[in-house]
Structure 1
């Protein structure tokens, strides 16, 4: 019959039963292979897998309890960080997700208020989720889970939405798309029907079906078989003739389940990566959904990474006319990144902090490469893994969640249970920050320095808790100083050179080795501008500084005492006679113009000395407002220099701050060309072949790969190479191969291997095409070959 594809008569027809037997044999062989592999695995490897890769450090002399504690600590710290990252993402998009939920819930109300149309529009929400599509998985998964949440009406009846999340990889054609959609809708109520349909679909996707009619018959039979085990109210369902991609199957399922809810549940279809779908498939899909819109409340949510133009490029006008579109926008990943950095590296005092180089690496890869939230999360997790997997002193990081008394009690217990041994103590004394701490104590308290080097119990149970508490206090002070720096920057919005984002400010502070103060140009300019503020600005600045200090009143109460003195002086100034104030302000402006002019451009010692004398003169002869401004500027200079000092000045900062960048660069900034060059010059490290072992990278042996031989010959030449000489040299090398006596090397074989190796070098980018030629010496190009 025309229009049908027949199976070739020479090929035996494979029935479904035969295919099942073949798959069963493959499964049994796979199970046997796994059993043999597990039996042959060494006990040490099993132990490493059991502990999730954690191993005993100090060449195996680390206590097993210490290793297990590192493992548990890593899990707890990462879970805490991961929860913070997820909560920030959910909170950031809370408003947009709520708007999408309201759009889904009110689609019926909008539909009833509109004039009846000759066609059925599909309520469609366009969600602009940002340009980084790998991050859309988490965002749309949250939207789907939010739409699935059950709500209870006033009549105590449940109400919910049935949600189906589709990706382009699951929708190769319209049949697969409809079948996947129906399966995922039916998965909202798990039963035997959906399970059997999924198993049949998996088998159908893994096999190559050559006859559509026969596959459809198999699907009908599987649906009938599954229907016998599907029960409706205790009664077995009748066998169905519907195919798994037939919308009537979805319609029947929906009519049965909608009776349990107060309102008609919506069928929400989420197309996560709209740009990746085939336009023809989408057009057919929307047309089919529009036909069933009167019987099924279908609502579509489409994720878009670019703009609405892609909608007009993918769909024709008639298909767009079937959609009633409303736009939504999720927050960009940059907002999420700012909040994550502030939460983890500023607010938190119980997790791992990044040093300047890892932090700069994190910023560069986010802003200069892909704006990927997934990469940032992976980078933070990799730093935690490197710290806990490879650093035996990482057991001290969880102690930051305790106060000093609990720290002391915990460390005493560790010493009694020998969770800490002499290797831990030796490792602590070898830290660079601890050595600097001992050297600083030699001149002031030599007895304490000697005791720290000799008395283990004193070091662990008395000194380390105090030093860890100092690190916690430093982190609180650092956050206060950083917010003070941001506050001063906001006082002068008209000066664009002083405005930097919080992320760049944090990077600049971390990179300063000796603290801030006059070492940072921006801080010097801010302090200079504070000296020049007027009377009204002084009052506003004092109010904002008070609000900031009240948040951190536990850091240092002397700050609030100093602020109270300035407030009293400012109140007395405002109560003075207005004529007197005007006369003094006029005099002060003239004096300030003489004293503070071009202050930022003076760098020599003589200029600094003159400037200091001028400032002292201004403090004596200036008005009360200028004196208060001078005092505030001087206080800001000293306070910032103290609060924002470098973390490298703290003893044992290595326990809390992560400064290693080499592994991050290898893992997240790979250099494939360097790896390829290493593989071509030293193939024994990649092929694991004992016969290719060489002592020097430029040594050539006949047993190496042809491309390696050709590349090493290529390195012996300059920019120009004689093609024939290169070919002859290659032939001479491969003639040294060990061959059977009856088999000799043919010229055609040498030429074929030569051309293939040259093509591989060109593909790897070591040979680039060019048109330049000479008589016999040419630049190597593929066209020449």
Structure 2
């Protein structure tokens, strides 16, 4: 559109009518092929509810696990706050004139989880102790002035004027900046405390009259030691005017404080140590509440759970990242499995099963577990299952109920077996319940050598130890709400009565045996006859099984039968695919990224990422139309340990000339001009940045190759 006019003017052109772009919601990605045959929106809704439940439960668990430590930390801060307010004589006894109360919070190496702990601490402080709680990180405190600036800005809520900047006289009152000094902080604090006393002289508040200033150093080890030393020295001069309290977040060991701060500085701190629970205990609690339970409908296969646990143990020890992996598995399951709409509460699952479409019924018939179920039925039943959709829906509802009963029996028996074997020497079935759970998911646990050795050790337990362990199992079975668990509990109660009856009988039997032995030994005999008598007595004792041993074997046989009946792998249950996510390879690829492999794939096969038809080539070849870095990478693979830059440049220029379509017989073909030289230098710089080559002092015009082979 163009307009010619002698005078200037304003012209309005209506835009061409365009189709309004459809906004795609998250639930639309769960719908396959534009048809809602797989209950895409319902699956998304169920997935979202379970996702929110995971988040809520993990936050509650985190608060419960840290409650004891945080309560102790709050008491520590309140103690020094009260002392500062009273200005009593015991103030000097609690800390010397220049000492700063410091809490050394040892949280462990699971750094990604520390944010949740510090957030909980900050919230508790602001609720019950002080509104002046500031969190600091090393990356934002590269110098002392930056550290002071962050503290003042977050406390005072205004900008801070650094020395190299001058205040603009045109600033409004709200935009005024204060000088970056501890003296300015003192003046501000006195003003705030006075206002607080004037506003509420007679009112009782949960906050103290002179609230302390709590400075939380989240990653203490990452701070520059020199900056910390100077900051502590400055603060110690003002401790009588400012109620400062430090909290050091330590990931490694409390000795880090002595390593980073000299004695002249650390002596200015009144340090008290606070230890959090280990990350393995956190993980055990999360697995106990979210995975080893029948209340949570979504399940993980043994291999998937092993991937998540391996990443936790060998990479970061982060429970937070473990939960994110669990959420990723949840999302993948509901996105890739159309029948996951049945992975929900019992009432909703039966409702969706009753309304399955013909396409969904066909998907059920294609499930491996359902195919095995059909093969085990009578011929007439097989015909019904393969031809009648309504019959499949009815059977599907029954199978979902059976699957729920299987889980209600599986988890109590699993906990009982773990209780029995977790204290055995060398832990034949694992020390943590997750190890036993993974073994039960993958194979018949009673067919393993570890199970046999565990049962042999259990048959050697003393009476007191056995009875106490069985009572723990009885408490677990009480939580079960099935006929099988109630029946097992009744059997255990009978054995407890029998064990108590043994206490009275064992003493009488022991007296009779001793009397018989004494009579045998009192008979006058020679040395040979005495030896023979002793051997007969020993043989008689070894062959005779005591009543306790009989009861012990019977009680353990009850548990052995329960294990063989209820701890069978979930793959044997029809429709287990509805609840279990088993694609461990997909999860490993998402969570265990291999950047070098991805980079080499992109450089060797640029079509894989760029999807440009001109980049399609045979295996081992790179198109001359590929990006410069791909061409340079392919050429460097043909060189040895040292690469001559001039030879590399000439080879690159030849390929670049072919890409430009120049005649191979012309003089311009393969000639290095300024543009090609600049492109080559950029490609080599990028390869050096990625770690494929580096400069070397052996030869000035060469670079050293750092990797070998491609993907």
TM more than 0.5: yes
Give 1:183's match in structure 2, choosing from 153, 160, 166: 153
Q: In the alignment, is residue 431 of structure 1 matched against residue 375 of structure 2?
A: no
Q: In the alignment, is residue 255 of structure 1 matched against residue 194 of structure 2?
A: yes
In 2 relative to 1, CA 718–425 (structure 1 residues): closer, same or farther, beyond 3 Å?
A: farther
Alignment of 1:283-294 (within 5 A): 283-294=229-240
Unaligned regions of 5+ residues in structure 2, if any? 1-14, 518-535, 707-711
In 2 relative to 1, CA 176–318 (structure 1 residues): closer, same or farther, beyond 3 Å?
A: same
Alpha-carbon offset, residue 703 of structure 1 = 2.4
Aligned to 1:265: 211
Kept in 1: contact 2:459–2:553 (CA 8 A) = yes
Give 1:703's match in structure 2, choosing from 625, 631, 635: 625
- Aligned residues between the structures: 649
Inter-partner Cα distance in structure 2 for 1:251 and 1:746: 76
Give the secondary structure class of the aligned counterpart of 1:263.
Answer: coil
Aligned to 2:436: 505
Kept in 1: contact 2:137–2:219 (CA 8 A) = yes
Alpha-carbon offset, residue 732 of structure 1 = 3.4
Q: In the alignment, is residue 128 of structure 1 matched against residue 76 of structure 2?
A: no
Give 1:676's match in structure 2, choosing from 599, 620, 635: 599
Inter-partner Cα distance in structure 2 for 1:592 and 1:681: 77
Give the secondary structure class of the aligned counterpart of 2:345.
Answer: helix
Inter-partner Cα distance in structure 2 for 1:588 and 1:391: 69
Structure 1 window deviating more from structure 2 (91-100 vs 634-643): it is: 634-643
Inter-partner Cα distance in structure 1 for 2:680 and 2:301: 50
Q: In the alignment, is residue 62 of structure 1 matched against residue 39 of structure 2?
A: no
Deviations 1:565-614 (A, max 9, x none): 534544554433635357779999857967xxxxxxxxxxxxxxxxxxxx
In 2 relative to 1, CA 584–431 (structure 1 residues): closer, same or farther, beyond 3 Å?
A: farther
In 2 relative to 1, CA 82–268 (structure 1 residues): closer, same or farther, beyond 3 Å?
A: same
Unaligned regions of 5+ residues in structure 1, if any? 1-35, 151-158, 187-193, 205-210, 228-239, 595-620
Aligned to 2:547: 624
Kept in 2: contact 1:126–1:325 (CA 8 A) = yes
Aligned to 1:617: none
Alpha-carbon RMSD across the aligned residues, in angstroms, is 3.9
Alpha-carbon offset, residue 312 of structure 1 = 3.3
In 2 relative to 1, CA 373–542 (structure 1 residues): closer, same or farther, beyond 3 Å?
A: closer
Alpha-carbon offset, residue 280 of structure 1 = 3.7
Alpha-carbon offset, residue 74 of structure 1 = 1.7
Kept in 1: contact 2:30–2:44 (CA 8 A) = no
Deviations 1:671-696 (A, max 9, x none): 22221221122113334555x42231
Give 1:454's match in structure 2, choosing from 384, 387, 401: 387
Inter-partner Cα distance in structure 1 for 2:555 and 2:537: 17
Inter-partner Cα distance in structure 2 for 1:732 and 1:241: 61
Kept in 2: contact 1:701–1:733 (CA 8 A) = no
In 2 relative to 1, CA 632–546 (structure 1 residues): closer, same or farther, beyond 3 Å?
A: same
Q: In the alignment, is residue 147 of structure 1 matched against residue 69 of structure 2?
A: no
In 2 relative to 1, CA 63–639 (structure 1 residues): closer, same or farther, beyond 3 Å?
A: closer
In 2 relative to 1, CA 305–40 (structure 1 residues): closer, same or farther, beyond 3 Å?
A: farther
Kept in 2: contact 1:721–1:780 (CA 8 A) = yes
Aligned to 1:562: 491
Kept in 2: contact 1:770–1:781 (CA 8 A) = no
Give the secondary structure class of the aligned counterpart of 2:626.
Answer: coil
Give 1:468's match in structure 2, choosing from 396, 400, 415: 400
Alpha-carbon offset, residue 308 of structure 1 = 3.2
Alpha-carbon offset, residue 53 of structure 1 = 5.6
Inter-partner Cα distance in structure 1 for 2:654 and 2:551: 88
In 2 relative to 1, CA 748–407 (structure 1 residues): closer, same or farther, beyond 3 Å?
A: closer
Aligned to 1:29: none
Give 2:357's match in structure 1, choosing from 421, 432, 438: 421
Aligned to 2:525: none
Alpha-carbon offset, residue 91 of structure 1 = 0.8
Aligned to 1:524: 452
Q: In the alignment, is residue 550 of structure 1 matched against residue 478 of structure 2?
A: yes
Alpha-carbon offset, residue 348 of structure 1 = 4.3
Instruction: Compute the TM-score of the two structures, normalised by the length of structure 1.
Output: 0.73
Deviations 1:431-476 (A, max 9, x none): 111111111223xxx444433333334433x333332222222222
In 2 relative to 1, CA 275–395 (structure 1 residues): closer, same or farther, beyond 3 Å?
A: same
Aligned to 1:354: 300
Alignment of 1:534-613 (within 5 A): 539-540=467-468, 542-552=470-480, 554-556=482-484, 557-576=486-505, 578-581=507-510, 590=539
In 2 relative to 1, CA 676–168 (structure 1 residues): closer, same or farther, beyond 3 Å?
A: same
Kept in 1: contact 2:421–2:428 (CA 8 A) = no
Inter-partner Cα distance in structure 2 for 1:487 and 1:582: 35
Alpha-carbon offset, residue 67 of structure 1 = 2.8
In 2 relative to 1, CA 675–56 (structure 1 residues): closer, same or farther, beyond 3 Å?
A: closer
Deviations 1:498-555 (A, max 9, x none): 653222222222221xx222x1212211222344445566655554444443333634
Kept in 1: contact 2:445–2:567 (CA 8 A) = yes
Aligned to 2:141: 171
Alpha-carbon offset, residue 307 of structure 1 = 2.4
Alpha-carbon offset, residue 140 of structure 1 = 0.3
Alignment of 1:221-236 (within 5 A): 222=171, 224-226=172-174
Kept in 2: contact 1:387–1:394 (CA 8 A) = yes
Kept in 2: contact 1:680–1:707 (CA 8 A) = yes
